[in-house]
Chains A and B, each alone.
Chain A
């Protein structure tokens, strides 16, 4: 009995001690051993207390241990907080933890209160009662403690582990962690809301998954493509990506804020309708009863993104006349309007024939203007077409032999904010495509001029019968070259540019976002470059193709000379020089065979030039032309390792329609 009362007394003492222990302090008999990292019972009591009690007491001390751990973490945090090393997420997480502890203190206080005010011995707290009572707080603290341990060891911030813990099947667990997760996520939500409604990033602690590239330029191209980015996308590292923001959602969040910045930079403001949306989304997202899952943003974002995507697309298409620009690029920069191209090339050639250093920009400007105006563009297009300009890229070393043709290029100046679509890469492709098309156009024009020369000289040239064999072959070679060029031009214009333009236009009603529009346009240009530049994959094609065009130009020039020479002679034969005729006639009276002897200077020079220079030039051109066609793979089957290039099959079919080659 005496021993029993001693035990009971001891139990009272121990219960009182446990209150200290539960707050992480030392009691009279229960003391924390730093070495063993646990509470130890006073050695005297330890030897006197029955085994059952002893183990019960030590078991109860676990709560104290767990509490100590928790408060150690919190202390650590408070230290970090003082050092300003904690972000908003961690701050609000620890605030939430503290709130949880606060609940715990409340329970302790209640219990203590109960014990002190209780007069009835029977209802006083016993160790067993304390055990019963402490079960729940213990579990609670243990969960928090385990979580803190895990998250600290993982070192990935608290959101990801919280999210994982909140998925626990046990409602007691998931409830706690949902609560903590929500509170910890609020700062992220706030950042997201500011971003998607104002386009600003308020993220002093670098906790947002969208980052800003401070080094990029102020251009609209960089603003759209570079300035804001998801590190996850480029690095594949999920760090910093909240698990309730899957990649597609993150991308759409990125796009929304980016769009807002973009629209603002276009000098436009957002519609008042967005304010309503914002209120709505804010109240939904910041409601503590929200269940945070991977689908949380699905419905929340869709109306916002729809409204902003539409606004941005409208701004680009309607206000900045995107499609008019594309039409201008297709019809003028890519020479899709034959009347413009023909008029411009024929007008500008006089200027471009000059040495590069002596061409006048303003001459070309006025020729370009009048060629554009002659196409009678619609009023609104006239303004757009002011973007059509040209470049004179003078070589570094001044060289008199460089003509205007070699340094001239048509250009299309892009004005903000369209740089986001016509990026520097796209603009570069524009230039390359236009360059080739321009060169082809020049060759076509020179063949056309040559054809007209054939037409209007054919009657006058008749007296010079000896040129007929060469001239006839020249007609046919001219037509071969024309056949090649017009097949190429038709193929590029109709099968490539026009068809893909139709596709592009038909596709645009289904374009939902600016990015899709950018992609569709890029696809169009890339498709053209695939056929015009053969994707820049095989430099040999471009090289040989250029050689072929040069050959056409050279042929035209040679022929022009041949015809001029011939016309001079034809004219002389028609109107023989008067004084010489008299002389010849006198001679003729004496000698019938003096015809050849009295060949005029012109006759002689022509005869010699025709049989040597002109004939040789023609034969060489004719041979080179055949060789180049074959090299380009147009007139024979491809072998392995030769040029195998998109579109060549179609081209070589059209070219060889009647199996000539």
Chain B
């Protein structure tokens, strides 16, 4: 049962509860473990959940951790996989004592989702109560839950299929909580033939049920790994490290609160203007610091960092930036910088690189915020930065998915595999065309958003609805 939400907004649910905790769901468990390793390091927590040293480092640990009865810190995390291998690895690894063992879920039989969205979706639905036992427990544990973070891939079976089911279910059961995803978009030259189907079906859920999606384009991740990190055969560990770096930097203001953006909603709302255009791109610098053989990084200034953050090579989405417009752009700077320079830096950046790069229908510009950083991860580079941006050229990435879907779907290839799982495809294949339309409408809206008359886009939508 889904998205039947009678009385949404009418019921006297208290909207003013204090929100700030985050519950994290990882469907790519390898990223999960990498991310939590990093969290532990930043907050001075040992693999067994005890503190490195008992000093206050100006952080707020309970956004991402809770303290068990024995004072050990436990991640507010649920790790899920349809293949027991990775979870089995974690249960035997260094961090086995960190996670709540009840929050690690893997399908009992060793069959996975076979890269089939429908299989993942159906398996999720079948195990709904089991899974929501974990999630509800985490949610109940957080006396002021702000939202969920979901990390998954949209190409395979588990992350995309089960992830999609989870998005629907979370949206249904927690209609007022924010859902932020870190979604890995597939490489066009993948070995998984049905990947275009999986992607389009997942994207529909990302459009409808996620509040914000940080797009991590596999093509860009690979080119960063080979061109910047100089890895000959970029492997999962490096890519996972990249992803967890982005996630860590994006959540730093929540965990090390400063002057602004200390809540997920304040970060998201400064980037997302209209509800459907919520596919964000991320950039990070200095990426070379993530290399296993990182060399010494030269001292960087605020201007350097801000300039690098808008260079395509540092951005984790392979899109033609110069052919679109920024809807919003947020720079999260970490490290020792002279903040009195913000104004002059943004001015220089605008005049040099961004003179006509923003949407014409409203005021927008480079926003800069200073993140506090962990004393435990002081690195040799003085300054680092994460850029999150809402850019209209994201429609190229989405349109690609639509195009690849169309090519495959026209031939009716492999659709039989989807009919065998769950109920969605039992009667017809409308779910496919439906999903395609949903994604395509976002592509269209992103295109419309580049023009000044976007202000009247509501009329178009309204008209379309009437026709429909």
Q: Do A and B bind each other?
A: yes
What per-residue 1/0 map shows which CB atoms of B149-191 lie under 8 Å from chain A? 0000000000000000000000100011010000000000000
Residues of A near B296 (CB, < 8 A) are none
Q: Which of B270, B368, B456 contacts A482 (CB 8 A)?
A: B270
Interface centre among B61, B274, B357 (most CB of A within 10 A): B274
In the complex, residue of chain B having the shortest beta-carbon distance to the beta carbon of A635: B363
In the complex, residue of chain B having the shortest beta-carbon distance to the beta carbon of A462: B465
Interface centre among A462, A466, A479 (most CB of B within 10 A): A479
A339-B257, A375-B60 known; A660-B6 Cβ under 8 A: no
A342-B262, A448-B269, A498-B370 known; A650-B360 Cβ under 8 A: no
Interface residues of A in 481-506 (CB under 8 A from B): 482-484, 486-487, 489-491, 493-495, 497-499, 502
In the complex, residue of chain A having the shortest beta-carbon distance to the beta carbon of B347: A653
Is the CB–CB distance between A338 and B16 below 8 Å?
A: no
A476 within 8 A of B: yes
Is the CB–CB distance between B458 and A342 below 8 Å?
A: no
Q: Which of A337, A349, A467, A483 contacts B16 (CB 8 A)?
A: A349
What is the minimal beta-carbon distance from A650 to any residue of chain B, in angstroms? 5
Is the CB–CB distance between B260 and A493 below 8 Å?
A: yes
A476-B361, A654-B343 known; A465-B369 Cβ under 8 A: no
Q: Which of B5, B62, B263 contacts A342 (CB 8 A)?
A: B263
In the complex, residue of chain A having the shortest beta-carbon distance to the beta carbon of B209: A459
Is the CB–CB distance between A494 and B269 below 8 Å?
A: no
What is the minimal beta-carbon distance from B280 to any residue of chain A, in angstroms? 14
Q: Which stretch, A176-184, A226-234, A414-422, A561-569, touches the partner chain B?
A: A561-569
Interface centre among A447, A468, A478 (most CB of B within 10 A): A468
Interface centre among A337, A459, A657 (most CB of B within 10 A): A657
B407 within 8 A of A: no
A243 within 8 A of B: no
What is the minimal beta-carbon distance from A651 to any residue of chain B, in angstroms? 9
Is the CB–CB distance between B16 and A347 below 8 Å?
A: yes
Residues of B near A339 (CB, < 8 A) are 20, 60, 254, 257, 262-263
A338-B260, A342-B266 known; A655-B363 Cβ under 8 A: yes
A448-B265, A483-B364, A657-B365 known; A346-B18 Cβ under 8 A: yes
B313 within 8 A of A: no
Q: Which stretch, B7-15, B45-53, B125-133, B240-248, touches the partner chain A?
A: B7-15
Residues of A near B366 (CB, < 8 A) are 657
What per-residue 1/0 map shows which CB atoms of A561-592 lie under 8 Å from chain B? 00110011001001100000000000000000
Q: Which of A376, A466, A491 contacts B60 (CB 8 A)?
A: A376
A480–B456 alpha-carbon span in the complex (Å): 16
Is the CB–CB distance between A657 and B15 below 8 Å?
A: no
B261 within 8 A of A: yes
B433 within 8 A of A: no
A338-B261, A455-B275, A564-B10 known; A480-B269 Cβ under 8 A: no
In the complex, residue of chain B having the shortest beta-carbon distance to the beta carbon of A496: B340
Residues of A near B339 (CB, < 8 A) are 494-495, 498-499, 502
In the complex, residue of chain B having the shortest beta-carbon distance to the beta carbon of A347: B18
Q: Which of B258, B338, B340, B363 contacts A480 (CB 8 A)?
A: B363
Using a Cβ–Cβ cut-off of 8 Å, how many residues does chain A contribute to the interface with B?
Answer: 77
Is the CB–CB distance between B359 and A658 below 8 Å?
A: yes
Is the CB–CB distance between A338 and B259 below 8 Å?
A: yes
B93 within 8 A of A: no
Residues of A near B272 (CB, < 8 A) are 451, 455
Is the CB–CB distance between B362 and A376 below 8 Å?
A: no
In the complex, residue of chain B having the shortest beta-carbon distance to the beta carbon of A471: B458
Is the CB–CB distance between B60 and A484 below 8 Å?
A: no
A661–B363 alpha-carbon span in the complex (Å): 7
Residues of B near A658 (CB, < 8 A) are 357-360, 363-365
Residues of B near A340 (CB, < 8 A) are 257
Is the CB–CB distance between A571 and B364 below 8 Å?
A: no
A260–B308 alpha-carbon span in the complex (Å): 56
B342 within 8 A of A: yes
What is the minimal beta-carbon distance from B404 to any residue of chain A, in angstroms? 26
B3 within 8 A of A: yes
Closest 10 CB pairs of A and B: A657-B365, A472-B458, A465-B465, A338-B262, A658-B358, A499-B340, A469-B458, A339-B257, A458-B275, A468-B462
Q: Could you list 14 examples of A-B contacts with CB < 8 Å?
A: A337-B259, A374-B20, A378-B56, A452-B176, A456-B8, A466-B462, A470-B458, A472-B274, A472-B458, A473-B458, A493-B259, A494-B369, A654-B343, A658-B365
Residues of B near A655 (CB, < 8 A) are 363, 365
Is the CB–CB distance between B6 and A563 below 8 Å?
A: no
A454 within 8 A of B: yes
Residues of A near B456 (CB, < 8 A) are 469, 472
Known: A339-B257, A482-B270, A654-B343. 18 other contacts (CB 8 A): A338-B258, A338-B259, A376-B60, A451-B265, A454-B275, A459-B208, A462-B465, A465-B465, A468-B458, A468-B462, A469-B456, A472-B455, A472-B461, A495-B339, A567-B9, A653-B343, A653-B347, A660-B363
Using a Cβ–Cβ cut-off of 8 Å, how many residues does chain B contribute to the interface with A?
Answer: 76
Interface of A is mostly: helix
A460 within 8 A of B: yes
What is the minimal beta-carbon distance from A221 to any residue of chain B, in angstroms? 30
B273 within 8 A of A: yes
A340–B272 alpha-carbon span in the complex (Å): 24
A315 within 8 A of B: no
Is the CB–CB distance between A657 and B358 below 8 Å?
A: yes
What is the minimal beta-carbon distance from A632 to any residue of chain B, in angstroms? 14
Is the CB–CB distance between A458 and B276 below 8 Å?
A: yes
Interface residues of B in 365-407 (CB under 8 A from A): 365-370
In the complex, residue of chain A having the shortest beta-carbon distance to the beta carbon of B464: A465
Is the CB–CB distance between B455 and A376 below 8 Å?
A: no
Is the CB–CB distance between A657 and B5 below 8 Å?
A: no
Residues of B near A365 (CB, < 8 A) are none
Is the CB–CB distance between A379 and B56 below 8 Å?
A: yes
A656 within 8 A of B: yes
Is the CB–CB distance between B363 and A657 below 8 Å?
A: yes
Is the CB–CB distance between A571 and B343 below 8 Å?
A: no
Is the CB–CB distance between A657 and B259 below 8 Å?
A: no
Is the CB–CB distance between A486 and B260 below 8 Å?
A: yes
B459 within 8 A of A: yes
Residues of A near B209 (CB, < 8 A) are 459
A575–B274 alpha-carbon span in the complex (Å): 27
A338-B266, A346-B18 known; A476-B6 Cβ under 8 A: no
In the complex, residue of chain B having the shortest beta-carbon distance to the beta carbon of A349: B16
What is the minimal beta-carbon distance from B153 to any residue of chain A, in angstroms? 24
Q: Which of A457, A467, A472, A657 contacts B9 (CB 8 A)?
A: A457
A59 within 8 A of B: no
Interface residues of A in 299-355 (CB under 8 A from B): 336-340, 342-343, 346-347, 349-350
Q: Which of B15, B262, B346 contacts A337 (CB 8 A)?
A: B262
Q: Which of A349, A459, A475 contacts B274 (CB 8 A)?
A: A475
Residues of A near B260 (CB, < 8 A) are 338, 486, 489-490, 493
A494-B368, A494-B370 known; A568-B363 Cβ under 8 A: no
A371–B62 alpha-carbon span in the complex (Å): 14
Is the CB–CB distance between B20 and A469 below 8 Å?
A: no
A338-B260, A489-B260, A495-B339 known; A657-B269 Cβ under 8 A: no
Is the CB–CB distance between B59 and A376 below 8 Å?
A: yes
What is the minimal beta-carbon distance from A562 to any residue of chain B, in angstroms? 11
